[in-house]
Chain A
Amino acid sequence: MSGTYLGMPSFPKAAAASTRDMRLRGNLRHATGTIRAKRAQAVSELGDWDGLRSAGAALKDRTLRHLDRYLVQLESAVTAAGGQVHWARDAEEANRIVTDLVRETGETDVVKVKSMATQEIGLNDALAKAGISAYETDLAELIVQLGDDLPSHILVPAIHRNRDQIRDIFRERMGDWGRAAPRGLSDDPSELAEAARLHLREKFLDAKVGISGANFMVAETGTLVVVESEGNGRMCLTLPETLISVVGIEKTVPTWQDLEVFLQTLPRSSTAERMNPYTSTWTGTTDEDGPSVFHLVLLDNGRTDALADTVGRQALRCIRCSACLNVCPVYERAGGHAYGSAYPGPIGAILTPQLRGVQSELDASLPYASSLCGACYEVCPVAIDIPEVLVHLRERVSEGGTVSVRGRKTTIEPAKGHAAERAVMRAARWAFDHPRALRTGQRLASRARRLTPRRLPLPGPGRAWSDSRDLPRPAPESFRDWWRRTRGEEAPAEGRLEGGDG
């Protein structure tokens, strides 16, 4: 696993491998199980959780409805405070803008605060191609980077690694990137943290350029907000001379007061903390305090297209807390890499196909990477009805339809490979809409029941079922036939609806 999510196989294929990786399964079960229980406790402490949840959803919806207005307000506030604003339509444009800005400083090394937006656009790779080394300073991101790996979780990018693996990565790779790990490093958490601290301290003190994302952007004052637990982010935000922040346009909130809701719901949902340890805010530049140059790159990259979708747009409410990942039974077995995106888990399954479209085999498989159990919706602090959006996107994959692509209405065809399934669905619906035909079919199946294998491998899609489960046999007499035999013909008759082709 290295470099990029591009060209990854469909979700079921990737998940087939990860479900067999018992170490990965163990790491994930332990980590998500722990945080799941803690989150439930932290949330139960608040008597007005449901109110906060509704308020967060309403705030985000309202802001998204008027996003054009708030973004213009944000731009003028940032500019007035001494920052420079850049608009990036897609990943390529954003990467070019950031690369040019770093080149202008003459530096070849930058430090980074953990950022989902820069993961989404593959900024580190783009910078590397331009001869610029980007150093991740979040502890988990550092583990991922040193291990030539990809993040597999929104909040805990190295959740798929255990302490043994982290110790090995530190011992083997830290020296290649800067200060080496101390000899005899054990897997004790405090020793691992100390090794990372010493390694990173050199980076912070040398860095002239910092790159960050942001959790929120306050339109009224042009203020950016980063919440974090380690304090490494604050180092990146304050020590360098130049700060470049790459932020998705949907992170905007209108006023400071709006933060009061999210600063309560975000930490409890993500790390199960009552309050996150470090909340850093910055507004443009200030003489002799913090960076003297500040650039804000506002990233679209599919967001306005998602906004045009009246069902799917609720995904843009997401505050990246990762509660949906930690509670998802599919994520727990498949692991984050199977989702082939910076955004794994249930939110990734609805966000990625909206940002990237459903043309690739991987992106078309994501809306199906869920059993629709609804646990994700239950925990979401901004009440994103993830199952609703999944089913909506499945319709896009299987039936095609009208979508917005780069701001233009476009009709897309059903995804390839769904023709056989569509035929089955159509035939099933026809049978279900013609009860007499259905009854005949049921009777044939009942008569042939002893011929139906319970264990033999079935052909086609049935094989997947018969690999690990015994099949039920059709009953000798259906309920319908039993009712008719014991109670006589029922009313009303089934006549009217059987006409036509349904």
Chain B
Amino acid sequence: MRVALFITCINDALYPRTGRAVVTLLERLGVEVGFPAAQSCCGQPQFNTGYHSEAAPLARRYADAFHGYDHVVVPSGSCAAMVRDNYPRIDEEATREAVAGTYELTEFLVDVLGVTDVGAYYPHTVTYHPTCHGLRMLGLGDRPRRLLQAVKGLRLVELEGAEECCGFGGTFAVKNPDVSAAMGADKARHIEETDAETVCTVDNSCLMHIGGTLSRRGSATRPVHIAEILAGTEEAPL
């Protein structure tokens, strides 16, 4: 099985530790991973803001970069959803193979590798925010929660209004700053009310908005990508 990592632009530049955690995790599970250097942004910011002609070359670049791999694993629900939901609208023929092979990380673990207990150790209280694109476009369902529940030492606590958008929405956060901030504040308040030490998601972009809001409010809860929780073990905690 030849598996390629797609490390999205936010993960690459701002949260490289997420990508390193994915490598650690997949290699521990016996998967051989590659990182095709020709990969770039998935084109979601352009596409979702209405610049479809700017997104098209990036979709074709993605298809070319990952050609020949059995699977592409993405530690981002919204970028995986961009590939799976929107690439067929941009260029169905050119992107068909790449679209079929692309999996969000938790989907890949549960559906392709067939594991829910990845042997991880994380002795903290954690709450989980299901990101909108992971929840509704990819239909991740309870896969991330099942993976978290199998982590040794981890206590999962419920988040009120979990399925409500955090207010990030890509360029929405810039174009509609007041509504975005109001949504973020409500999300942060619900997170604070759980008293969890960590809030985790399958997307660093949502986490950037949630974490930025928590930090500004002086909250103690740490934002962490699910890959970083799943990568740690008792012998080698992250």
Contact = CB atoms under 8 A, between A and B. Distances in A.
B16 A371 contact: no
A295 B34 CA distance: 70
A256 B46 CA distance: 45
Contacts of A378: 136
B209 interface: yes
Contacts of B48: 372, 391, 394
A10 to B, nearest CB: 10
Contact of B58 (A15, A432, A487): A432
Contacts, number: 211
B47 interface: yes
Contact of A374 (B37, B50, B132, B183): B132
Contacts of A15: 176, 178-179
A398 B9 contact: no
Given A372-B132, A373-B165, A490 B35 contact: yes
B186 to A, nearest CB: 8
Query: Top 6 nearest A-B pairs by Cβ distance?
Result: A371-B169, A394-B50, A464-B177, A469-B212, A373-B165, A398-B50
Nearest to B50: A394
Interface string B165-187: 10111111111111111111100
Contacts of B132: 371-375
A334 interface: yes
Nearest to B207: A472
A391 B49 CA distance: 7
Contact of B165 (A329, A397, A473, A494): A329
A429 B46 contact: yes
A424 B32 CA distance: 37
A202 interface: no
A493 B177 CA distance: 40
Contact of A334 (B41, B57, B179): B179
Contact of B38 (A377, A394, A422, A494): A494
Contacts of A448: none
A373 B136 contact: yes
Contacts of B47: 391
Given A16-B178, A372-B172, A442-B12, A435 B50 contact: no
Contacts of B46: 425, 428-429
Contacts of B45: 425, 428
B158 interface: no
| Chain B interface residue bracket vs A | 35 or more
A217 B160 CA distance: 42
A478 interface: yes
B62 to A, nearest CB: 10
Given A12-B175, A333-B182, A469-B181, A479 B51 contact: no
Given A372-B172, A398-B51, A399-B51, 9 more contacts: A12-B177, A368-B171, A370-B169, A391-B48, A396-B50, A428-B41, A438-B40, A468-B184, A470-B216
A403 interface: no
A470 B212 contact: yes
A173 B145 CA distance: 55
A426 B165 contact: no
Interface string A246-269: 000000000000000000000000
17 contacts: A19-B178, A329-B164, A330-B176, A333-B183, A372-B133, A374-B132, A428-B46, A433-B40, A435-B38, A465-B177, A465-B212, A468-B177, A469-B213, A470-B212, A474-B13, A475-B14, A497-B65
A397 B175 CA distance: 14
Given A369-B176, A461-B174, A429 B37 contact: no
A480 interface: yes
Interface of B: 7, 9, 11-17, 19-20, 34-41, 43, 45-55, 57-58, 61, 64-65, 132-133, 135-137, 163-165, 167-185, 208-209, 211-213, 215-216
Given A333-B182, A435-B40, A475-B16, A468 B216 contact: yes
A433 B61 contact: yes
A451 B180 CA distance: 26
Contacts of A16: 178
Contacts of B176: 11-12, 15, 330, 368-369
A426 B209 CA distance: 24
Interface string A349-374: 00000000000000000011111111
A480 B12 contact: yes
A502 B174 CA distance: 27
A297 B50 CA distance: 37
A480 B48 CA distance: 25
Contacts of B177: 12, 464-465, 467-468
A395 interface: yes
Nearest to A377: B136
A486 B172 CA distance: 37
B174 A494 contact: no
